[in-house]
Every structure is written in C-alpha cells, then in structure tokens.
Structure 1
Amino acid sequence: MGGANQSSVSEFLLLWLSRQPEEQQLLFMLFLSMYLATVLGNLLIILAITIDSRLHSPMYFFLSNLSFVDLCFSSNTVPKMLVNHILGIQTISFPGCLTQLYFFVVFTDMDNFLLAVMAYDRFVAVCHPLHYTTKMTHQLCVLLVAGSWSIANLNGLLHTLLMARLSFCADNRIPHFFCDLSPLLKLSCSDTHLNEMMVLIEGGLIMMIPLFCILVSYICITSAVLRVPSTKGKWKAFSTCGSHLAVVSLFYGTIIAVYFSPSSSHSAKSDTAATVMYTVVTPMLNPFIYSLRNKDMKGALRKMIVRKRGSIS
C-alpha cells in the first residue's frame, strides 16, 4: 500500500474547533467578524499606500505586499470553514485539500520572507541612512519580492506533490479547520519518512534563515540606535521598528509553539489555537499594528476617508 499512487480517500472531514452547537455558533460569528476585519483592514492599507504618493517608498511597498499576502492567507482557510458551517457539512475533497495545503505553504513562506525583507529595509534605513536611496532601489525591492514569491511557490509545489504521492486508507478525519501538513501526515497509511524529512530540513531552513536575518538586522539596529546621543533620536529610531517587531513576535511566536516546541507538550486543541493565531488573528492585527503606530499611515487613511466622504456628499 505504501507504494500506491492513488488515494482511496476521496474527501476529508474537517472537524472544526468544537462539536458543541452553542460553541459552533459563537465561533462562527467570531471567525466571520475577524475575517471581515482582516479583509477591510488589509484592503485599506493597500489602497492608502497606492493612492498616497508620500507612501511610495520601499517600506510601504513591502507593507502593501504583506497586506496582500495576509488577505490571501486568511481567505485560503476561513471562507471554506464558514461555508461548511452554513451548509452543515464538514467535507473537503482530496484535490481541494491539496490546493488548500499548497496555498497555505505559499502564504506562510511569503509572510516569513516579507518580514525578513522588511527587517533588512529597516536595517539599511537606521544603520546606513545616507545610502538608503541608493541601496534600496525600486529594482531591488521588486527583485526581493519576486524572488520571495518564486521560492514560496516552489516550496508549496514540493510539499503538495510529496503529499499527493501518499495513500490515505481509512481514517479521513482531520482534527483541524483546514488541511495542514502535520494532521495530513498523521492520517496517511504510506511511508511518510521523506515528507517528514523535507518538512524538518527544507521547511526548517526556509523558516529559520529569514528569522536569523531578522535577529541579525535588529541586533545591528539596536547597536546603532544606542550610539545615538539624543534620547529623542533613539525613540524615533526605535518607533519606526516597533510595529515590525510586534508583528514578528506574534508570527514567529505562534509558529514556534506549533512546529518547534517538544511534541510532548502538544495537544490537538493547543496546536489548533496556536494555528488560529498566525493564520487568522495575525493577518487581522497587522493592519491595526502598522496603522496605529505610524503617523504617515494614519494620515494617509484619514486623507482617504475624508476624500471618500467628500465625493459622496
């Protein structure tokens, strides 16, 4: 059976987050509210950056890409879960599950890469301010984003193809609200050694190298800021990085809790709760974190809203 190319399972059952009807209704309203806030918040960020010429800089170019990825990230999992609840079904087809897995890997990697690219942008801005415009050119920014998309798509394709070669014989119940790598591997009746090895080695490198770059960037930034003589100058430099650090902490903290903590401390509920944090909560919070801590962004959003009101009246 381990060498079979075909799966005997044509669909999977997504067990959602609770089996209690009262809790399901509450969770449905909660997830619907969070998803609508995610869509609205990230679309506003993208529109504000596109419309306001003052925000046409590398930092906001990367932020608009992060907002787009976060919007897609939530849209890959939450709508299917909400539709299933409305229709009273729990199923997802085998091809649909692989498609969801592919995009989940792609958007997770893109969040990872963009946070690293944004850390490098802050490093250049703080540590080499006089050379910022010559180093962070438009061509370099586009190249960094395009390269990130290319690697993310190749990684997503790799894990999807490796998953497609496995067989699923009997149990098709996924104790999750979407198709993730770990729950699917546990259901397979094939030899999953190659898949697990690729998740550990290749997946680990893709996650840890950007995190290492972020840490190095902020060590250099902290060192440079501490050499600034004025307290006001130090506060200004740290404030420009505060939003990014908050997002980095939230994103990597939950991923490390799921994938890099000891397996003995894991439970289905704790893993699902942590996954909800970086797949649903973090994409929703990112727009608020960046807009509330950024004067230029708040000004652009205010200007856009005033212009919209003026056109309506």
Structure 2
Amino acid sequence: MSLPFTLLIDPVSVDSERISFDDTFHEMDSAAPALRVGELSAQRGDGIFETLSVVNGHPQEVEPHIARLRDSAEICDLPVPNPAQWRAAIAYAVARLPQQGELALKFVLSRGVESGPAPTAWLHATRAADFGAVRATGVRVVTLDRGYPRGVAERAPWLLMGAKTLSYAINMAALREATRRGADDTIFVTTDGYVMEGPTSSVIVRIDGVYVTPAPNGAILHGTTQQSLFEYLRAQGVPVEYRDVTLSELREADASWLVSSVRLAVSVTTLDGAPMRTDFAVSNEFNSYLLGRTDN
C-alpha cells in the first residue's frame, strides 16, 4: 500500500466482546474528500487525536496512546473509544503499510457534524520526516509563558488542558514564535515559573543524576515516549522522578531533552540563547532504544 494511507472508522463504544469489526473500517483514497463542511473537527477543532510511530512495521506504544485517547475523550465529553476497535484499526493499517522505515500514524476522534447522530473517526498514515540530523545535533529552545499559573487545570477543568485536542493553533503559534526568535522549538512555562511541556513534546531533565519530568497533572499530557524512556531507565537501575520542575532547575540541569513519538529524543542545546549542558551519548542511547523496540 502506498502512502499516505487513510482509514475511516465507524466508532463503537460498547463491550468489545459483542462487536464484529468486519464492517467498521473503510479504506479510502487519501486525496479524496472525506469530511463534510459541518464537521466540527474542521470548524472548531472539536476533537481529540494521537500520533504514534511505526518503525520497520512495528507500531510503538499502542496501549499508552489508546489509553490517552480514552482519557482525552472523557475530559472532552466525547464517546469513550472502544480499545479493541482502535487496536484492530491500527493493526489493519500497519499490515497494509510499508514494513521498512519510519512512519507516522495519526488517529482522530471528532465530535462529528453539529447535531449529527455520531462522532467521526479516522486514521491517517504518512512517512515520517527525516529527523536523523536533529537527533544528532539537538535543538535550540526558547521558553514561552503559557499564560497560566501552576494548578490552573484543577481550578478550571473546562480549559481541557489535560486532553490532546485538535485545537493546536496555540501550539503552532508557539513554534512560529520560536522561529522568529532564532530557535527551533519551545518549552512552555507557567506564569509562576514552572516547566510544563513543549507544543508537541514532553520535557525530560537530568538533575544530579536523576531523570526528572514535570508531574503529569491536569495541565500536562503524560507523554507516551517519556513513559517508555522512564521504563527503560528504571530497568537499568537509573533513578527517575515525576515532580514540579522550576525554570531555574531547567537552566542548571545536567542535560535536557524534548521527547515525542515521531521525532523521538532530541537534546536541548541552548535555552533562551544561553548554552545548555548536553549528553549526546545518552541521546543516542535513547534513540537506539526507541528505534529498536519490537513490542507495542
């Protein structure tokens, strides 16, 4: 099957033991029209998504991605996705995709057409960009104020900050601002000086030999790649920790990384124009591990 590849999904939210998946997937031409004008994902960004990596025919972190999709659905008052159906859709797609190289597999659940009878769901696969160079050389990062103090997600859950929604205008604006400032990427910080995450990545810092990531509270997504790397580190007896991280701790860290499903792990080489300590040996170790996984 050539890329891009698109699969429409008929969402079902009942017990997987009573479902036949035979007629729930529909392959379609990725260049053909698929969404109606009234589709709320396009009109309002009213939906949720996940993007996983497929490396040499192996989909990565399937279960964490599906679990996070379900969490996002609950936060956004969407029908809770049926895990068995989404596992089957991912397996169906992967079996029809090229079995060599790195691919990006995005799956989406939208509220559908306004006043419509059902949500809309689809899966779309493309070849991943070549991130070999940035994995080897790292990224220049600027910090940007997210406009909220720490704890806002608990006080204002209607902001949906813990959900991975399709409303990415702010995230993309932050990346454009990084470019305007001569950088490659961004780390969001709270108004009171705590590290959050990147627009499309999680943050890992090493402080006195301990690998730390900001606690995945209601304002921070629990990164699937970050979780995988922490499992890897724990297996090697390396200490890891979830806790609040101040901006000053980030600046003084032994090393720091932005990690995400498709780009994987990249070192932060400068922060707001100041050089950062780096450990490219660990970056290479992280990426070798992430690229070599053959389980889900």
Same fold per TM (> 0.5)? Answer: no
TM-score (norm 1): 0.26
TM-score (norm 2): 0.27
Higher relative contact order (CA 8 A, sep 6+): 1
Q: Which has the higher strand share?
A: 2
Q: Which has the higher helix share?
A: 1
